[in-house]
A = this chain, B = another copy of it.
Amino acid sequence: MKKINTSPISGMQELLPGKQAIFNQLLAEITRVYHAHGFLSIETPVIDRTEILLAKAGGDTEKQIYKVVKTAETADDADQALRFDHTVPLARYVVEHESDLKFPFKVTQIGRNFRGERAQKGRFREFYQCDIDVIGRNKLPLGYDADVVATAYEALKTFVKPEILVRVSNRKILGGLLETLGLAEKSDVIFGIIDHAEKVPLEKTHAAYEEEGLNAEQIKTLEDFVEIRGTLEEVMPKLEEIFAHVGGETLREGIDELSFVLGNLEAQGLKGKVIADMLIIRGLDYYTGSVFETIIPEYKEIGSICSGGRYENLAGYYTDQQLPGVGISIGLTRLFYVLNEYGLLDDTERKVVDYCICPISENEYAFAAKVAAELRAEGNTVDVIYAGKSVGDKLKYAAAVATKGIVIGESEVESGKYEIKEFA
């Protein structure tokens, strides 16, 4: 009988061993692909200075950060909290170790982050994020924007079975458009409206524009603009038409950058799998150029499973050195949760143990250990069952945990030979 509540705190992932093995397999696949593309692993501490973590934060982040209470023996330290993403500690890491790193610095961080959000189904307070970033010194070529997208796409394809679609845009396009429409001052609000547009009915977005005092022509321009999506050859004529109409340097830059990134990705065989989409904004984030979101079109309701973008300056709060970067992140805990809910995981609960050896009595332990060592040397996973009163008990355990069983009794020890029993 339980004496106290032993469930994990709400919002924390806790899996049974069979599901954990699948989760770990996904982590391993993502890591393998990231490494194959030349990204180097680093790990930053889970606990960091609050001053660092909140240097540029505000809003939700500040409300959701988990502060850590110093102990008697750490009382002299700076105020501390748990990291809520990988980007902020990465900024600190790059500034701290700058002289020891090669630039462009291609880096991957895979681990748990923490946000004390309201508990709700499918949302996690402790969650794995699988990030890649490329950090430049002073400048960073656009080739890397395509690089991170192509890498993340390949990683996702190792385990997401339905089609996936990466939607790419460039914030300079909408930014430039708003400048020329004389709406630069309202750009934060309008970015926010468009960022939400997919989640609300059209009329509501229309009403929101009107509330901000936009005139009918401005609204028409924006409503037409966010309809632009497709391959390079589909979207470029429409974007060039807008440019011909309104002009402007920022808009030009945005169109050229998008054209370069999308063209590069299509040349890599991702035409139609990565598309331009003017609805993509990445909310109030700190992105300044390319932005990416990824959906499973068959299951749009899942939302973005992998997103990112380019930032002009990674660590402006910590250093005067200009460090532009581009990054993308797979939110694996949430993605695993929804794939599991939708039955999209390959969860034929694989037995991870190949052989279970069943010595009948203590007299056979030594020979059982020898057989186990030989099988392990061939690359098998091998358990030896020491519990169970009868051979039947032992075989029942063996069949539950392993795909094959080996009974070791007196005659096996004598002959040095044994039979392998395949379990159904």
Question: What is the distance, in angstroms, from A368's C-beta to the closest C-beta of chain B?
Answer: 9
Q: Which residue of B lies closest to A65 (CB)?
A: B71
Q: Which residue of B lies closest to A377 (CB)?
A: B36
Segment at the interface with B among A95-103, A226-234, A284-292: A95-103
Residues on B with C-beta less than 8 A from A46 are: 46, 112, 114, 126
Interface residues of A in 69-121 (CB under 8 A from B): 69-74, 77-78, 80, 82, 92-93, 95-97, 100-104, 106-107, 112, 114, 116-119
Residues on B with C-beta less than 8 A from A49 are: 5, 9
Residue-wise interface mask of A (132-153) relative to B, using a CB-CB cutoff of 8 A (1 in contact, 0 not): 0000100111111011001000
Residues on B with C-beta less than 8 A from A268 are: 366, 369-370, 373
Q: At the interface, yes or no: A63 with Cβ under 8 Å from chain B?
A: yes
- Interface size of A by CB at 8 A reads 116
Q: At the interface, yes or no: A24 with Cβ under 8 Å from chain B?
A: yes
Question: What is the distance, in angstroms, from A233's C-beta to the closest C-beta of chain B?
Answer: 16
B42 touches A117 (CB 8 A): no
Q: Which residue of B lies closest to A89 (CB)?
A: B8
Pick from A74, A269, A376 the residue with the most CB of B within 10 Å: A74
Residues on B with C-beta less than 8 A from A69 are: 66-69
A401 touches B102 (CB 8 A): yes
Residues on B with C-beta less than 8 A from A5 are: 49, 51, 78
Partner of A1, one of B97, B142, B321: B321
A116 touches B74 (CB 8 A): yes
A263 to B93, CA, bound (A): 50
Residues on B with C-beta less than 8 A from A139 are: 387
Q: Which residue of B lies closest to A95 (CB)?
A: B6
Quick one: given A38-B384, A116-B70, A320-B1, are A45 and B8 in contact (CB under 8 Å)? yes
Q: At the interface, yes or no: A335 with Cβ under 8 Å from chain B?
A: no
Residues on B with C-beta less than 8 A from A64 are: 71, 73
A12 to B68, CA, bound (A): 15
Pick from A13, A37, A126, A139 the residue with the most CB of B within 10 Å: A37
Q: At the interface, yes or no: A48 with Cβ under 8 Å from chain B?
A: yes
Quick one: given A2-B319, A384-B143, are A71 and B80 in contact (CB under 8 Å)? no
Quick one: given A48-B9, A112-B46, are A386 and B143 in contact (CB under 8 Å)? yes
Q: At the interface, yes or no: A317 with Cβ under 8 Å from chain B?
A: yes
Q: Which residue of B lies closest to A11 (CB)?
A: B74
Quick one: given A41-B20, A71-B63, A150-B369, are A376 and B36 in contact (CB under 8 Å)? yes
Residues on B with C-beta less than 8 A from A383 are: 37-38, 106
Q: Which residue of B lies closest to A143 (CB)?
A: B386
A66 touches B55 (CB 8 A): no
Quick one: given A49-B5, A143-B386, are A365 and B78 in contact (CB under 8 Å)? no
B51 touches A4 (CB 8 A): yes
Question: What is the distance, in angstroms, from A25's C-beta to the closest C-beta of chain B?
Answer: 10
A residues in contact (CB < 8 Å) with B: 1-17, 20-21, 24, 35-38, 40-49, 51-52, 55, 63-74, 77-78, 80, 82, 92-93, 95-97, 100-104, 106-107, 112, 114, 116-119, 125-126, 136, 139-144, 146-147, 150, 260, 264, 267-269, 317-321, 352-353, 356, 362, 365-366, 369-370, 372-373, 376, 380-387, 397, 400-402
Could you name 12 residue pairs across A and B whose Cβ atoms are closer than 8 Å?
A9-B49, A14-B43, A14-B44, A37-B376, A46-B46, A47-B126, A67-B68, A73-B116, A74-B117, A106-B383, A146-B365, A267-B369
